[in-house]
Amino acid sequence: MGKVVIMDHPLIKHKLSIMRDERTGTRDFRVLVEEIAMLMCYEALRDLPTELVKIKTPITEAELPMLTGKKLAVVPILRAGLGMTDGILALVPSAKVGHIGLCRDEVTREPHEYFCKLPENMDERLVILPDPMLATGGSAIMAVDAIKAHGCRQIKFMCLIAAPEGLEALKKAHPDIDIYIGNLDDGLNEDAYIVPGLGDAGDRIFGTK
């Protein structure tokens, strides 16, 4: 059974509130997405295993903890997940990066895949899957399906804002993955946008409409 972690740090709450403000422009929005992703990544990787390694300091030789275990891959869900990637890589710079391109149909709300390029040996990696928004959950479920199809079994999905509907759907479809959420919002509106949300994350990151 995977865990669900909802962030409760005031820095994350504050930065999310600035992002949500409709007056926040593309440049600030992009910086905030990256900063929050970095703060969330710090929390999401709290359970990485370490092992003791002999290290000679200028004073003495000591057995000190170093990261061990699976190699990492970061696989942003395009487009909006790209905005979180550099924040994550700031903490784990040697992670490999894959991309999965999904787009929600404006009418049916169903996602469809238009691109998938993943690093080698996905079955041996811990995968961080960032996407700012978990709305109906359709995109996240499809992305996890695709990554599991490559043999990957350890997945941490990370989003800035989730709707309860999307969280329930993702947990039901993939109960084994860990889910990290910046804030759990009230729900979805009739257009399947998160309320209060922040609007269209991809458009706000890239300045499109």
The residues assigned a catalytic role are 104, 108, 200, 203
Give 193-196 contacts, CB < 8 A, sequence gap 24+: 193/135, 194/133, 194/135, 194/161, 194/162, 194/163, 195/163, 196/20
| CB of 12 closer than 8 Å to CB of 43 | no
**Nearest-approach distance from CB 122 to ligand URA, in angstroms:** 26
- Tell me how far apart the terminal alpha carbons of the chain are, to the nearest angstrom: 39
Binding site for ligand PRP (CB under 6 A): 77-80, 102-104, 109, 111, 131-140, 166, 192, 200-202
Nearer to ligand PRP, 95 or 133 (CB): 133
- Locate tokens 């691109």: which residue? 115
Rule CB under 6 A: say whether 193 interacts with ligand URA: yes
Nearer to ligand URA, 68 or 208 (CB): 208
- Interface residue with ligand URA among 81, 111, 138, 197 (CB under 6 A) is 197
Instruction: Looking at residues 106 to 145 of the shown chain, list those that interact with ligand URA (rule: CB under 6 A).
Output: 133, 135
Q: Find the angle CA(25)-CA(27)-CA(190) to the nearest 5 degrees.
A: 45
193 binds, among ligand URA, ligand PRP, none (CB under 5 to 8 A by kind): ligand URA
CA dihedral 26, 132, 71, 115 (to 10 degrees): -80
- Locate tokens 């996240």: which residue? 140
Rule CB under 6 A: say whether 165 interacts with ligand URA: no
Any bridge partners for residue 102, and if so which?
113
**Nearest-approach distance from CB 138 to ligand PRP, in angstroms:** 4
45 binds, among ligand URA, ligand PRP, none (CB under 5 to 8 A by kind): none
- Give residues in contact with ligand URA (CB under 6 A): 133, 135, 193-194, 197, 200-202
